[in-house]
Structure 1
Amino acid sequence: MHILAHRGYHAALPENTMDAFEAALTLGFEGIETDVRLSRDAELVLFHNRVAPNGVAVADLTHAELQQAVGYAVPRLDEALDAFSCAFWNIELKVPAAQAATIATLKRYQHSRRLLLTSFRHDVVLACAHELSIDCGFLSAHRPAALNSLAHAALHEPRLRTFVWDYEILDSGLLEMANTIGFRNYVYGAHTQAEHELCASLGVHGVITDHPEFVKLPQRGLHSQTRH
């Protein structure tokens, strides 16, 4: 089971920062889940929220202005991929505006990094799966009425064989159906030890978590790496 750090390990650090990524890998996480947005000056910035703390949308701020608003260095996508080349990266594409630039950037890394691109915007995922030679997945916070209808759109994209589910909507039948039709299952949003144990018992392929204390990680530093 893949264990990914949700926005890096940010218990005492700003999320989605180089320090949070390094801390996660030092703890023994196999990889990182991070969020990609497009700044006003066309930079692919790793930032979760749509709006910065100053009340301005990230899309309306330059990279420098965003960093000033949050008070810390906000990494660019290529900067993180360059610095931590051995990590398994789950890149969540937050907005369609970042689609073209993200595709162009990931084409430079698709044969040298372990990558999974996901989004709640399933149309964006389809477009990326068509253009890229990396694994792609549909993020879902709602249980579909019929799983086949969700999977049907992916049938012509062989790299699009992953579902990333909110913990709230999990059940064994849903996961079994996904496996039966050839999809891998990842889960985000588990918060207690019991919830993490349930994910493991259900045989999910990956867990995206903020809680290293509830998952089995390799010995400290086994998968860590210094920045290049």
Structure 2
Amino acid sequence: MHARVVAATTAALLGAMTLSPASQVRAAGAARQPVIVAHRGASAYAPENTLPAIDKAAELGFRWVENDVQRTKDGELVVLHDDSLRRTTDAARVFPDRAPWKVKDFTAAEIARLDAGSWFSPTYAGTRVPTLEQYMRRVERDRESLLLEVKNPELYPGIEQQTLKVLGEEGWLDHRHLAGRLIVQSFSAASVRTVHDLAPAVTTALLGRPDTADLDRYAGFTDSINPSYGTLDADYVSAVHALTGPHGDPVKVFTWTVDDAVRARTAAGYGVDGLITDRPDVVRAALEGP
């Protein structure tokens, strides 16, 4: 038994060294396995940002899902990545004279008519764009946790307050959820700061990669810096971890979008706290494998 353990440990170390320079890998045993976040739900297997995508993530055994929130013409919050409906719905067919089919130019009732699943697969024909309320209720039903992105806040003045209102109404601003089931993020530092100012107990994250010299500007209102994988290295992760966030803990790093084994292991070697992925099962297998 002892020999098998030693062999397995040696193999794991050699694999990590092969994937990343030694200077960019944490000491063996020092890094915890990153949290795996299903990007827009399990979006490699079901249409992104839909209820089936949440369900698929839960079916695969993943606790965390990520989504994107935008606002309709009549003020409803809906879950959709693009500021246009064209890519992931049949808006161009249903409303041929409404190009460029911006979310902000359509009412919630109009968006509710659209098919948000057929573009992905005939299996999902008739899937709808969920409202934020519908999405939150499904996340709760599936006992998942949520990384919620405030999308394009410059297009939707006041969206932060409105999002927090919905979260509160759905019971997501109580201690049980705030203690480890909710993170609100945005590419806009001003939006992240607004969320923190309005609801200081909420865990927040800034998408992107601020310069290392500027990182301390964000530590007062963000608990995590979430850069894309291609901009990441171990030194940057260490620089972020050296900061103390608004809740008294080291600032974390969640990186995106990591969909293959090599990137998953390399990013884990850098010491990231979370991996955001369209293929959470692939990432899990990579981190748990030999």
TM over 0.5: yes
Instruction: Tell me which of 77, 82, 102 is aligned to 1:49.
Output: 82
2:213 and 2:63 mapped to 1: Cα distance? 31
Deviating beyond 4 angstroms after TM superposition, the runs of 4 or more aligned structure 1 residues are none
Q: How does 1:66-77 map to 2 (within 5 A)?
A: 66-71=111-116, 72-77=127-132
Q: 1:129 Cα deviation (Å)?
A: 1.0
Q: Give the TM-score, by structure 1 length.
A: 0.86
What SS is found at the alignment partner of 2:113? Answer: helix
Q: 1:22 Cα deviation (Å)?
A: 0.6
- Structure 1 residues not aligned, in runs of 5+: 218-228
Which residue number corresponds to residue 161 of structure 1?
Answer: 223
Which residue number corresponds to residue 47 of structure 2?
Answer: 14
2:37 and 2:113 mapped to 1: Cα distance? 29
2:54 and 2:251 mapped to 1: Cα distance? 28
Which residue number corresponds to residue 3 of structure 1?
Answer: 36
Which residue number corresponds to residue 185 of structure 2?
Answer: 118
Which residue number corresponds to residue 69 of structure 2?
Answer: 36
Which residue number corresponds to residue 226 of structure 1?
Answer: none
The letter of the residue matching 1:176 is S
What SS is found at the alignment partner of 1:42? Answer: coil
The letter of the residue matching 2:240 is A
Q: Which has the higher helix share?
A: 2
2:277 and 2:131 mapped to 1: Cα distance? 22
- Structure 2 residues not aligned, in runs of 5+: 1-33, 87-91, 93-99, 117-126, 244-249, 286-290
Asked if the contact 1:52/1:70 (under 8 Å) is kept, the reply is no
1:191 and 1:4 mapped to 2: Cα distance? 11
Note if 1:82 corresponds to 2:137: yes
Q: 1:149 Cα deviation (Å)?
A: 1.7
Which residue number corresponds to residue 203 of structure 1?
Answer: 271
In the superposition, relative to structure 1, how do residues 30 and 89 fare at CA in structure 2: closer, same or farther (>3 Å)? same
Q: 1:123 Cα deviation (Å)?
A: 0.1
Which residue number corresponds to residue 106 of structure 1?
Answer: 167
In the superposition, relative to structure 1, how do residues 83 and 69 fare at CA in structure 2: closer, same or farther (>3 Å)? closer
In the superposition, relative to structure 1, how do residues 93 and 187 fare at CA in structure 2: closer, same or farther (>3 Å)? same
Q: Deviations over 1:66-113 (max 9, x none)?
A: 243444311111222222222110000002212221121223311143
Instruction: Tell me which of 85, 107, 110 is aligned to 1:62.
Output: 107
Asked if the contact 1:67/1:73 (under 8 Å) is kept, the reply is yes
1:216 and 1:135 mapped to 2: Cα distance? 24
Asked if the contact 1:32/1:90 (under 8 Å) is kept, the reply is yes
Q: 1:205 Cα deviation (Å)?
A: 0.8
Asked if the contact 1:4/1:207 (under 8 Å) is kept, the reply is yes
What SS is found at the alignment partner of 2:73? Answer: coil
Q: Equivalent pairs: percent with the same residue?
A: 27
Structure with larger RCO (C-alpha < 8 A, sep 6+): 1
Q: Which has the higher strand share?
A: 1
The letter of the residue matching 2:64 is G
Instruction: Tell me which of 183, 189, 192 is aligned to 2:251.
Output: 183
Asked if the contact 2:45/2:56 (under 8 Å) is kept, the reply is no
Q: Deviations over 1:158-196 (max 9, x none)?
A: xx2111110010000000010011210101122321001
